[in-house]
């Protein structure tokens, strides 16, 4: 599906805003970045030391528009996938590994 960068940014912003309130305070130290393409077929990428490490550099979560667009057949699918990706990458911030994220549906 086709989605402009500004539309994608709005979807990402909405997904971040929907993160449950108890976790919102931990998001202040995370930069959410959107990019066109990862070059590696990624939906998102977490970079950082994590919420459990003090004094590290700020964390960054990058969400990739082209991969999300390619894996979505409709606007609703895109919105749902961006939300899952945001939660998945935030899970990495809290030191959750891939297997734990899969078990929790992310």
Please give the pLDDT value at position 23. Answer: 84
Residue 4 — very low, low, confident or very high, per pLDDT cuts 50/70/90?
A: very high
Range(s) of the domain holding residue 53: 5-103
**Is the Cβ–Cβ distance between 63 and 44 less than 8 Å?**
yes
Q: Which of 67, 77, 10, 22 is nearest to 42 (CA)?
A: 67
Question: Considering its fold, how many domains does the chain have in total?
Answer: 1
Q: Which of 59, 84, 83, 79 is nearest to 69 (CA)?
A: 79
**In the beta sheet, which residues pair with residue 60?**
31, 47
27-37 burial, b at 16+ Cβ within 10 Å, e below that, comes to beebebebbee
Q: What is the CATH number of the domain that holds 74?
A: 3.30.2010.20
Which tens digits make up the pLDDT trace of 25-74?
888 889 999 999 989 999 999 998 887 777 777 899 999 999 999 999 99
The pTM is what? 0.91
């Amino acid at each position: 599906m086709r989605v402009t960068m500004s539309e994608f940014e709005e979807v990402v912003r909405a997904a971040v805003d929907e993160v449950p309130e108890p976790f919102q305070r931990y998001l202040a130290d995370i930069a959410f970045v959107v990019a066109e393409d990862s070059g590696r077929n990624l939906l998102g990428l977490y970079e950082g030391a994590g919420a459990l490490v003090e004094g590290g550099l700020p964390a960054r979560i990058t969400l990739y528009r082209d991969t999300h667009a390619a894996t979505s057949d409709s606007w609703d699918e895109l919105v749902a996938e961006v939300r899952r990706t945001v939660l998945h990458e935030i899970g990495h911030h809290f030191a959750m590994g891939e297997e734990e994220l899969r078990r929790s549906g992310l």
